[in-house]
Amino acid sequence: MRSVRGSILFVAAAAAACSGIATCQTLTTFETFKGANPGTCSAPPPASSFAASDGTVNVYFLLNSVHPGDVTKVLWLNPAGANPWYTMWDPTPNDGYTSRCYWINFDIGKY
């Protein structure tokens, strides 16, 4: 079995400087998982080992104290340390919710 190694760099960028906001974002859950994406903000069962045959490494995370206009971005660093891929979500809407859950699937088959 081939070993698949890589890193995920997590970046939560606020539209305004954190010092000007009452609270800054906090990451309360960050885990990898296998299988289907969650249908709700309940964290899926975690997984810590992946093989190339899995096809993807799935990541789930929960951010608290998210403000309207905040943008969340995740960078994937491949085994060579390069940043070949990232995803960025739309700015947070002004809907009264301050906690947001996200999940993403990284294609590891090509590494």
Q: What is the pLDDT along the chain (111 residues), one digit of tens a residue?
A: 334 444 554 444 443 445 555 577 888 888 999 989 998 999 999 998 888 888 888 999 999 988 899 888 888 777 777 777 788 999 999 998 889 999 998 887 766
- How far is the CA of 68 from the CAs of 53, 60, 91, 94, in angstroms? 39, 21, 7, 5
pLDDT at 20: 56
DSSP-derived secondary structure for 5-25: --EEEEEEE-SS-GGGSSS--
In degrees, rounded to 5, the angle at the alpha carbon of residue 25 between the alpha carbons of residues 23 and 30 is 150
